[in-house]
Structure 1
Amino acid sequence: MADLASEEDILLARRIISAAARHDVAALEILLKQGSANAQDAKAPVASSPLHAAIVASGKAVDGKEAGDDAVRTVELLLENGAIWNDLNGEDETPGCIALRLGQKKIYDMMVDAGVRAELLFSKMETLGLDEDEDEDSGDDNDEENDDHETGDKQPAPKRQKLSNEVQGMQPVGEEKALDDVSLDNRAYLKSRLRYKPGILLDESDNAVMMDWETQIMQRHAETLIPKAGLKVMNVGHGMGIVDTAIQTHDPAEHHIVEAHPQVLQRLRDQGWYDKPNVTIHEGRWQDVLPKLVEKGTVQLDAIYYDTFAEDYKALREFFSEYVVQLLSPGGRFGWYNGLGADRQICYDVYTKVAEIDLHQAGFETRWEDITVPADLHGSKQWEGTRRPYWTIDVYRLPVNTFAK
């Protein structure tokens, strides 16, 4: 809604929000013919959409008793009329965040499903060359920016794959002008200076590229991908070397490492990785390295792991749908660091489902293994000196992918 909303617009927005909060489906059906399911009261002290209001009014689920049919139908109606699944209210919560906090599981699952539908829709629109802004009635016209939880100057937690590939207001990366946050662009990140500190790797914008609390997760990835010795393995993205060190303990016949950052490559030299008899270092971005390997046809792998930084989900999807399918042997396994949206539970759940659907379309079956993250991670001093935490949820969902039979 425009900043200079008329009194009539404000009144209509208040009526829509009020009807949503009362779970008055009949009134809401009439009002939504006149106004938006994303209406906000421009004069309210705290911004809130009708969807937020409807879920807040559902109250806390007590003794397993969740919201009634009117509340569920209200949420359905708002979503059907274009309510934004990941819109943020004035307290930095999405509707799904509120449903989760209140224990309203059915409504939370509805929000996850709405998010999955929206993301798959935009992916399809992108494939068809359509601009999402051309479809104002989709209700998710600002999905890309909300996907990264951006409000004002707040930026998304950058660990691993960002959710969207579009950054609002991003300046071109060049010799004379650099990004304030290099995690927003992979090429800017590759030109940036890294800092290796005890237990953490930081980029020059103070984003944590990798931290040693991930060691258990990385080791488990290596275990699930490499069930026996003598296999041919590739890791894309070396970082602190946690997963590559774990891979070495499984005695691979071939160990390929794809890495593009000059400082990381120098660290690989300094630590003797280039001299290991079973290790091959491929210098460059995987987008440049893998097409050449596919063309030569000389590399066939039993396990592939992906753990890049400052790349979006679109890059991950391209990686497995275009290259893993060509480089992985029958019976081989593929995994990636599943950090998609891990600074917000609703986004993590949405992108876990989106990834599984896209993997299935690419010909994979996915098995998930839940790993509880360290209890002291949340609000921990481990994040001191970093731009923001990239992980705020309790469970890591580890994916193991094999070709569908």
Structure 2
Amino acid sequence: MSTPIEEDPEVLAHLIQLAASNHDVTALRPLLRQGSANVRDSDTGYTPLHSAIAACEDDEDSHGVDKENHVNGHVDADGVTNGETTDAKAPEMTDAAKTVKLLLQQGAIWNDLNNDNETPGCIALKLHLNDLYEIMVDAGVRAELLLNRLDEYEQLKDEEDSETESGAALSSSNHDEPNPDITLQTPEGDADTPVLATNEAEPDEKLGNEDFLNSSLRFQGDRILDENGNGVMMAWESSIMKRTADLLCPDPGFQVLNVGHGMGIVDNFFQTKLPATHHIIEAHSAVLQRMRRDGRFDKPNVVIHEGRWQDVVPHMMEQGILFDAIYFDTFAEDYKAFRDFFSDFLVGLLKDQGKCGFFNGLGADRQICYDVYTKVVEMDLFEAGFDTEWEVIPVPRMDDCEWAGVKRKYWTLSEYKLPICTFIG
């Protein structure tokens, strides 16, 4: 039986933080047998992961970087160095990497926030510690994939328990509604982009999908806001939507499906491509009313499907309707809903040589979350039978005037990773 290193929890926590800061794996390992890898410094909010990474900062890291360009660990291109490690610093970085990996192995939480609203990965990115940043991204991917699988297991377990209680297989019941994905929250932001959950303590006033569909919307020319002031879609996305339409529909005469009309930005670009048929699924009554007013229902090659995609798509599949291009951009849905779409339905809607795209706003209020979920969704798409190619598009800097009236910025990054998916092989 091991002897307690220190019975005072505060002292033990201090020793763990100190060993992490010193990258002293030999001292840290026995300390973690007695204490937690998630202790927190009361003054800074640092966990041992924060401490281990922040300790790599030196005088050079604090020069030549405009701190105002830092947004949740992201640094604009004009403030970033190449991030290469000098030979003199290599041993320190090796010890730091070993320390970070040990903490993660012992249960350290990859996206814990300190008092400055930074994850450990945010600090690594800010200090241009590329190797440590990639370790944190990989840790986030592992954690999110595991949590997603656990969520699926819990749903399966709930169904099995219900079958045992009833003595029969489930029919239509309250189990038809999936549990919300436990690692995501709907954004205060963009057209249907679920984002990675963080540990922020501010009140959650976002709407679930059913509440959103029953809520009022505000159309303000270059944006749509929900009744809580969250951005549903904004005009700055136009360059992204145009490039998406160019890649999905390079030639006229195609059949295209857009799931989620919103402001109609991508649908307008699809129309300029002269499609043979253009199907749109839209569930919100206010958006549908606006579509009627704008004459969208009167276009000869446009077919509007009123309702949730979960109800509309099965009927499409029954009719054998296939598409050359599909775009997915809904709002107030969690990541599981999107995963269900491409895992269970996309294969039955897309032609063999067809292409699919989606608005990639997962975790877009924080660079590390964006990088984590870009990898997660690529892995899930591969598992569903799709290859994904990414095109990086610069996002213009937006000032406070452009976000005026929007409750919280849902996009803080300087680059957008545009996905185009095709069948493997």
TM-score range, shorter chain: 0.7 to 0.9
CA distance in 1, matches of 2:199, 2:306: 27
CA distance change for structure 1 residues 300 and 221 in 2, over 3 Å: closer, same or farther? same
Aligned partner (choices 368, 376, 396) of residue 374 of structure 1:
396
Q: Equivalent residue for 1:186? A: 209
8 A Cα contact 2:144 2:183, kept in partner: no
Among 379, 383, 389, which residue is 2:403 paired with?
Answer: 383
CA distance, structure 1, for counterparts of residue 182 and residue 17 of structure 2: 23
The CA distance in 1 between the partners of 2:44 and 2:282, in whole Å, is: 46
What do residues 94-124 of structure 1 show as CA deviations (whole Å, max 9, x unaligned)?
A: 0000000000000000000000000111111
Instruction: For residue 247 of structure 1, report the CA deviation from its aligned partner.
Output: 0.3
Q: Distance in 1 between matches of 2:391 and 2:374?
A: 12
Q: 1:14 to 1:184 in 2, by over 3 A?
A: farther
Aligned pair partner of 2:223 in 193, 196, 200: 200
Structure 2: distance between partners of 1:146 and 1:289: 27
Structure 1 position 64, deviation (Å): 2.1
Q: Secondary structure at the match of 1:73?
A: helix
**Counterpart selection for 1:128 from 142, 153, 169:** 153
- Aligned position for 2:423: 403
The residue that corresponds to 1:341 in the other structure is 363
Kept in 2: contact 1:230–1:253 (CA 8 A): yes
Q: Tell me which residue corresponds to 2:76.
A: none
2:35 maps to 1:35: yes
Cα 1:312/1:233, change in 2 over 3 Å? same
CA pair 146-295 structure 1, distance change in 2 beyond 3 A: closer
Per the alignment, residue 54 of structure 2 pairs with: 56
Q: Aligned AA for 2:325? A: A
Amino acid in the other structure paired with 1:236: V
The whole-number CA distance in structure 1 between the counterparts of 2:228 and 2:323 is 35
Q: What is the Cα deviation at residue 127 of structure 1?
A: 2.0
Q: TM-score under structure 2 normalisation?
A: 0.82
Amino acid at match of 1:313: Y
Paired AA for residue 358 in structure 1:
D
Which residue number corresponds to residue 307 of structure 1? 329
SS in 1 for 2:392: strand
Report what 2:302 is aligned to.
279
Choose the corresponding residue for 2:117, options 92, 99, 107. 92
Alpha-carbon separation, structure 1, partners of 2:374 and 2:204: 29
Give, in angstroms, the shift of residue 198 of structure 1: 2.0
CA distance in 1, matches of 2:294, 2:108: 52
Show the 5 A alignment for 1:143-292: 157-159=188-190, 160-163=192-195, 181=205, 183-292=206-315
Query: How many Å apart are 1:403 and its aligned residue?
Result: 0.3
Counterpart Cα distance in 2 of 1:261 and 1:345:
31
CA RMSD between the two structures: 2.4
TM-score (normalised: structure 1)? 0.86
Kindly tell me: are residues 167 and 111 of structure 1, through their superposed partners in 2, closer, same or farther at Cα, counting changes over 3 Å? closer
Work out the CA distance in 2 between the residues paired with 1:211 and 1:364. Answer: 29
| Contact 2:23-2:96 at 8 Å conserved across structures | yes
Q: Which runs of 4+ in 1 moved over 4 A?
A: 60-63, 144-148, 164-169
Corresponding position of 2:173? none
Aligned residue pairs total 368
The gaps in structure 1 that reach 5 residues or longer are 1-5, 132-143, 149-154, 170-178
Q: Does 1:112 align with 2:144?
A: no
Q: Distance in 2 between matches of 1:217 and 1:234?
A: 17
